[in-house]
A and B are shown apart, each in its own frame.
Chain A
Amino acid sequence: MNLLVSILCGFLYFIGTSRIGYGLSTATGSPLFYGLILGLVYGKLTEGLIIGATIQLIYIGIINTGGNMPADQSLAGIIAIPIALQTDLSTELAVGLAVPFGVLGVFLDQIRRISNSYWISQAEKHAENLNQRGIFNCAITYPTILLFFITFIPVFIITLVGADTVTFIMDAMPQGIIDGFSVAGGILPALGFAIILLIIGKRELMPYFFIGFFAVAYLGINTMAAAVFGTCVAAIVLFNSINQKKELS
């Protein structure tokens, strides 16, 4: 692949995982955003957006509880999207390529968090010496520099040499395996939703999940409509419970 594109991919992945700005990485590291940028680079905006959005949907419900990352949407996107655009892969194949890298990205994140333990022990010494600057460096500068090497190098290498290898493998891939990967793309969103259910799914509240589910399955409402109705239902419950408190007291 083009050297400049590989450098760009390395930087995009570094920025998308730097986590500078809480929640900002959700945007800068989203396959959707990568799809937009790389689509522009390759002059295939629509394809880029569609592949980006399809990969994004796999990870739509993924949240990092306690800082633990279940899957890395950024690595999945930054490897699969440029290779797919370069070699004209179908969206299903791009998904098949993205999923394994989504798993691998978790290990990169674990390296980051293990190395961060060192900086906090350094920061304690700076706290002892009232060194605000030192605390700043330990909190932001050093982890970010280290992260650059953890993230930039693997992505740069994989995107640089990956395209040819991928074309070779994908050409040899039987249709049955391709079908299998597209099933994986269809099932994996369930993972994120299940994680959220684990966090907020109290038993007495579970019927609301089913209302939302079957409102779409039977009535065919779209996502925005669901958000509107869901907010109304939540508001009714909130106001009722506040009124009940008032009556009791």
Chain B
Amino acid sequence: MTSKPADPIKEAEKRALSNKDLFKTFARWYSAVEVSNSYERLQALSFCFALSGSLRKLYKGDDEGYREALKRHIQFYNSEGTFGSMIHGVTLSMEEEKAKGNEITEEVVTGFKTGLMGPIAGIGDTLIWGTLKPIILALACSLALNGVFVGGLIPFLFPMAIVLIGFGMLKSGYLLGKESVMKLMQTGLINNIITSASILGLFMMGALSSTYIKISTPIQFSVMDSDPIVLQDILDQILAGVLPLCAVFSIYFYFKYKGQNYNKLIIMLIVISLVTGFFGILSSS
């Protein structure tokens, strides 16, 4: 992604914020993202806090401009934290222009943020939380189940990956600036990336569903004194893994048509499990 527009990176030396400033911004963002998350404005406070240091540097000696900027960035914001760091980078580059006195209205800055946070969250949730996290945890669990103690430490690979990707995103957002990022968006490349990320995510969800949803039925029939007919064997011959598949899609369609009430559904699932387990209709295998 960074290979094509090489020029802005060369110009980096002329920019107001150094690599260190950018790293500080990222470190603040990284440590604060979800800490102050509220129903009212979600990640707004973390966003404002992350930028506060760099904004002070941009608006040196311009208290009024700094105040306006802080208030601009304490408004509603919510995206995925890792890929979302790119928005911080671009916002800083826009604030830099604004601080220099170039004509950038508040609407442009806010519009850019709110316009991009949705699509970026789509990529981040898919790649980071929907794909990378379950893969790392699945790997860790399979080690731990065999008694390998490293399995308990493997989950730490996940935050490490977030730091590496997130800082890279923030830096490239700042160096590329709004124009290049928008151009990148408009080429449709971003859609292609979302699609292929979703493909990987879906493929993994399929594989993990099949591996880790463990239900089968212990029901058997005996006709006269012939060998008992095991229901699970018949099901397996029709379609392998048909019960786990039913479980996933029952929940999927429940959420889709009845709304996403997690607490209610979890309690329902436990009740169903207790009843079917008690009467020997289902068992975990």
Contact = CB atoms under 8 A, between A and B. Distances in A.
A82 B31 CA distance: 29
Interface stretch (B1-9, B87-95, B129-137, B171-179): B129-137
B97 to A, nearest CB: 21
Interface string A225-239: 011011101110110
Contacts of B198: 200-202, 205
Interface string A43-77: 00110011011101100110111111011000000
Q: Say what secondary structure dominates the interface of chain B.
A: helix
Contact of B203 (A52, A114, A190, A230): A230
Contacts of B207: 212-213, 215-216, 221, 223, 226-227, 230
B139 interface: yes
A127 B204 contact: no
A36 interface: yes
Interface residues of A, number: 117
A136 B49 contact: yes
A198 interface: yes
Given A135-B48, A180-B277, A217 B134 contact: no
Given A60-B141, A212-B206, A223-B207, A32 B277 contact: no
B102 to A, nearest CB: 23
Q: Say what secondary structure dominates the interface of chain A.
A: helix
Interface residues of B, number: 119
A30 B136 CA distance: 12
Contacts of B284: 92, 182-183, 185-186
B156 interface: yes
Interface of A: 18-27, 30, 32-33, 35-37, 39, 45-46, 49-50, 52-54, 56-57, 60-61, 63-68, 70-71, 92, 99-100, 102-103, 106, 113-114, 116-117, 119-120, 123-124, 127-128, 130, 132, 135-136, 138-140, 143-144, 176-177, 179-202, 205-206, 208-218, 221-224, 226-227, 229-231, 233-235, 237-238, 241-242, 245
Interface of B: 29-46, 48-49, 52-53, 56, 63, 66-67, 70-71, 74, 78, 81-82, 125-126, 128-130, 133-135, 137-142, 144-145, 147-149, 151-156, 158-159, 162, 166, 187-189, 192-193, 195-215, 240-241, 244-245, 247-249, 251-252, 255-256, 260, 262-263, 265-267, 269-270, 272-280, 282-285
